[in-house]
Structure 1
């Protein structure tokens, strides 16, 4: 079941424009980072470890900026973030709780980093299992929220609102839903960032650059494919 809560059109449009403007600049910077990551990989044998770590920190901070801006918009309208018009239908098809699944990081590592030690593999597998467990927990929480929308009390309130009664009660129901959606989104975004940071700590500096280059390239390709399919 899908319910789109009412929101002020002007406020919604402002939020859309605000995030679209941010995203446009963010994507330009992401393309620059991809070029820097690729160049660094081509000369990694000449690079100092501290220089590689500096680049890694800057790229991770770049992603953190995205989540901070996303959180700001979510506080204004969390329902908008769950159905973001600034992403194409193709891009949204990869989404899990308004963003990519944290476990995607392990697939990217598997396809881009081929020289992990046994210890690294073991640590990565342990982290993967922990991440899957947290993904399931958050997925179950979102399912509980969605199932709650179909509960008889909600339908009863909606029926009374339809005949111009109990508007205050409906506002209370939607406020509860908003708070729950904000919470599950915040936890999902935290898991996404925490997983990427933990993966980075397991890998060496050169391996991190490989991982971040592959991840950034994949996201930009999905963006490009989505744009082409939407034409």
Structure 2
């Protein structure tokens, strides 16, 4: 069952990345001609890009409903992509770094609002980190990411032992609650950032977000391919 869930999501993700490349091309063109574009056209593009990201999290939420451990272990990502994963997705605080690096014409009021939102987001992130630690401590469990990957392998092999069922049941409830809160924080933070930026600024911001994600994906695929090639050469030698 878990294998089917992973394969289905991987198939979706391949198409999603193709569409993301197309959106990046649109964003780059809009960024280059932003001062000549109509506000309505920029807003339409922004809405479509945000809808594209919303589709990703809608699909991933289906994975979590079927197997929360897969949502934590993210087997559809490359090893390099996994280094950026926080509670099943990106860490919301990353958005503020991207804003700082990509939007250089923030007003004083916008800077104040970004700083205030960043402080609020850090508080929420810290609360989620503490909740994860509490779950681990209460169950005397190993780090959740390590456990999720272990359980993911067990489920894939359909060899989960009966004595693990009770622990898994408690973990599922706790992890689902944490992931739900993290997803709400991710989406709400993104929307709040978008709301405080102008259409032209949003095009710059979303271009940087999309470029970073695709670049990380590309680097991850390249590293995994090199690792496989190196391993193959070693075994043949």
TM-score normalized with structure 2 length? 0.84
Contact kept in structure 1, 2:27 and 2:203, CA below 8 Å: yes
Indicate whether 1:200 and 2:194 are aligned. yes
RMSD between superposed Cα atoms in Å: 1.4
Q: Deviations over 1:68-118 (max 9, x none)?
A: 111000111110111121111111011111111000000000000000000
Q: Indicate the residue corresponding to 1:41 in structure 2.
A: 31
Instruction: Find the counterpart in structure 2 of residue 213 from structure 1.
Output: 207
- Distance of 1:199 and 1:36 partners within structure 2: 21
TM-score (norm 1): 0.86
1:84 aligns with 2:74: yes
Rounded Cα–Cα distance in structure 2 between residues aligned with 1:74 and 1:171: 18
> How far apart, CA to CA, are the structure 2 residues paired with 1:108 and 1:184?
25
- 1:103 corresponding residue in structure 2: 93
Q: Which residue of 2 aligns with 1:63?
A: 53
Unmatched tracts of structure 2, length 5 or more: 142-160, 226-237
Secondary structure, aligned partner of 1:115: coil
Give me the whole-angstrom Cα distance separating, in 2, the residues matched to 1:23 and 1:225.
17
**Alignment partners' CA distance in 2, 1:149 and 1:93:** 25
Residue 136 of structure 1 aligns with which residue? 126
- Give 1:1-231 correspondences, 5 Å limit: 11-150=1-140, 167=162, 170-231=164-225
Q: Deviations over 1:157-197 (max 9, x none)?
A: xxxxxxxxx94x75343212101111101110111111010
CA contact (8 A) 2:139 2:167 kept: no
Structure 1 counterpart SS, 2:74: coil
Runs of 4+ in 1 over 2 A off after TM superposition: 169-173
Report the number of matched residues.
Answer: 206
